[in-house]
Structure 1
Amino acid sequence: MEQIIQLEKAANVRDLGGYKAINGIVRMNKVIRSASLSELSFNDQEKLQQYGVKDVVDFRSPSEATKAPDKTIPQAAEYFLPVFGHDETKVSISPKELLKQLEQGMTAKAQMIKVYRHFIEDEHAQAAYRKFLQILLENDTENTSVLFHCTAGKDRTGFGAALVLDLLEVDAQTIMADYLATNRYLNERISAMVKKAKEQGAPDLLVAGIKDLMKADALYLKESYTAAREHYGSLKNYVKTGLGFTEGEIKDLQKLYLIK
């Protein structure tokens, strides 16, 4: 069961600790996934500091970060690691622009599948996830956490969480369950967006597009695994060959983040 961290002004904030792996259990207070931190309250900032957050990794695009800059967590280092040069996930796109793209033939589901392939294939994305794993390897103090996020905490963050859990040898079913749990924590936000769109007379095409863009879909994450197998043989080999990590470094990651 995922470990939610209840905050006043941030959604989908979860400690990845507690999951069973082949050789142990993922440590608590070591790695946290989240949606945007741009609206954190003072209490939220204090809570995350007390929780041990010492590094914050922002996967958003430059335009997303400029539009809604993170609220800082006291004494935490900040790393801006945009997975893409622009928001390929479309979660920050305006309804008007989204409708325009849908009318021009883009399907939201096909766009998301492309995004999840790009996590594996795109050099910009590889650089971001390479640095992310390096930051995790340097987090060698007990009860200090690395928090990583994007805008919704769904796609760039969802893949990042799957990547970490896969390297820690958590089973595939649990990894997928963690990924899909986002739908529960963003359900209220998605419902509000859909309701607002309908009240404003949005066509069915736009409503369906919003739903496809905003939900976590097993088909999306599976596409990352498919791309990893096609190019590298497995997700672990993507980390070794594509991102340049040794077997020893992966073992070091397991020592840091697993309780035997």
Structure 2
Amino acid sequence: MRGLRVVVAAIGVLGLVTGLTAPAGAAPEAVAFTQATAVRGADGGHALSWASAAGSVRITAVTSPDATAGVELGQSGGSGALTAPPLPAADRWYFRLTPDRGDPLVVADRHLGFASAKNFRDVGGYRTSDGRWVRNGVLYRSTKLSDLDADEQRRLTGLGVVKVVDLRNLVERLEEPDRLPAGVAHQVADVASLEHGVRFHDQALMTLLEAIAAGLLSGSSDLGQSVGYPFMVNFVGADRAFRDFLTAVATAPGPVVVHCSAGKDRTGWATAVLLTLLGVPSEVVEADFLASNTYTGDPRAVELSWLRAAQNQVQRLYGGFDAYLRQGIGLDEATIAALRAKFLV
């Protein structure tokens, strides 16, 4: 976030990220699976596990989340595990779990393994509080895409990505512009932009002092981040950026990538906002946030106290996440409904 700090130092605004609890929507139809994961091994094989009330489950490897036919891997109990051997080369393998009763579910390893973008991963594959699942292959979160090589650009096309939403500031974008394949749109949603003025929902000095005190109390290793996260709720310019991001995802005709520089702060907040809107439990939102420590290779890349500082700011300013979505970010009901329809199964 070095470039971000340069732009916002004058107003005391820097990082981002969070996750809270969204109100549950109408009860969906029963989904057979209560747990399901796919983890790719070093040899290219996948370890699958699932839990359901079904009597049996058929497992099929497919190269698209919408495909119904592929490589049949076998059938097992309603709850079980299976190790899939390495499969032929493909941009990505998904695994369709088809129970003997109830709806099928598609799972995949969340991490894409981009060498130049270590934190490139799928936002899908999580179960919501009301028993639905967030679709894979709709939104990816990432580090900067300025170092993509030719094969990684080809893979981006293979994933069907139609748009990249860039949360970085002008300096960052000029220093390290994204390298994208032809046909992929690039949209700027600068979280620290001063284009629309320097305005806050609450007194900036008060937010600054409270954030520093909370950071000291929590033992934060980076007080700059402890200050930056709540400012991403308080700064009006950030609201516009997050609204633009969510609107882009809701309206895009295909998969979207959202990224900043390291893919952990601004991108972490954007992801947490979306997952919370979809009804993913707060502890799962937190786990997705903390996964940046694993994927970046830096065990101190993010701290939970930073995320919770933003959560606390949402509660203080709006009294809850639902009001933050509508009154802070400014999402309308149609966009919220479109996002839930697009992601939830």
The TM-score by the shorter chain falls in which range?
Answer: 0.7 to 0.9
Is residue 45–residue 74 contact of structure 1 (8 Å, CA) maintained in 2?
Answer: no
More strand by share: 2
Other structure's SS at 1:148 match: strand
SS of equivalent to 2:222 = helix
CA deviations over 1:26-52 (Å, ceiling 9, x no partner): 111101100010100100001011101
Deviation at 1:236, TM superposition (A): 2.5
Contact map agreement 1:46 1:74 (CA 8 A) in 2: no
Deviations 1:138-189 (A, max 9, x none): 03x4xx21100000001000001100100000000110000000001112xx
Deviation at 1:108, TM superposition (A): 5.9
8 Å Cα contact 1:165/1:175 also seen in 2: yes
Cα distance in 2 between the residues matched to 1:157 and 1:145: 16
Q: Following the alignment from structure 2 to structure 1, what is the Cα–Cα distance between the partners of residues 247 and 334?
A: 13
Matching of residue 233 in structure 1 with residue 319 in structure 2? yes
Residue 26 of structure 1 aligns to a residue in which SS?
Answer: coil
TM-score when scaled to structure 1? 0.77
Contact 1:56 1:78 in 2 (8 A): yes
Alignment equivalent of 1:79, drawn from 187, 191, 194? 187
Are positions 1:54 and 2:140 aligned together?
A: no
Tell me what 2:79 maps to.
none
Corresponding position of 1:173 = 283
Any stretches of 5+ residues in structure 2 without a counterpart?
1-36, 38-108, 195-219
- Secondary structure of the residue aligned to 1:3 is coil
Distance 1:184 1:230 in 2: 31
Structure 1 distance, partners of 2:275, 2:182, is 27
1:45 corresponds in structure 2 to 153
> What is the TM-score normalised by the length of structure 2?
0.59
Which residues of 2 match residues 136-147 of structure 1 at below 5 A?
A: 136-139=249-252, 141=253, 144-147=254-257
Give the total of aligned pairs: 213
CA contact (8 A) 2:193 2:238 kept: no
In structure 1, runs of 5+ residues without a counterpart are 87-106, 192-210
* Greater fraction helix: 1
Which one-letter code corresponds to 2:183 in the other structure? Answer: Q
Identity of aligned residues (%): 30
Equivalence for 2:229: 116
Q: Residue 24 of structure 1: which of 132, 137, 146 is its match?
A: 132
Structure with greater Cα Rg: 2
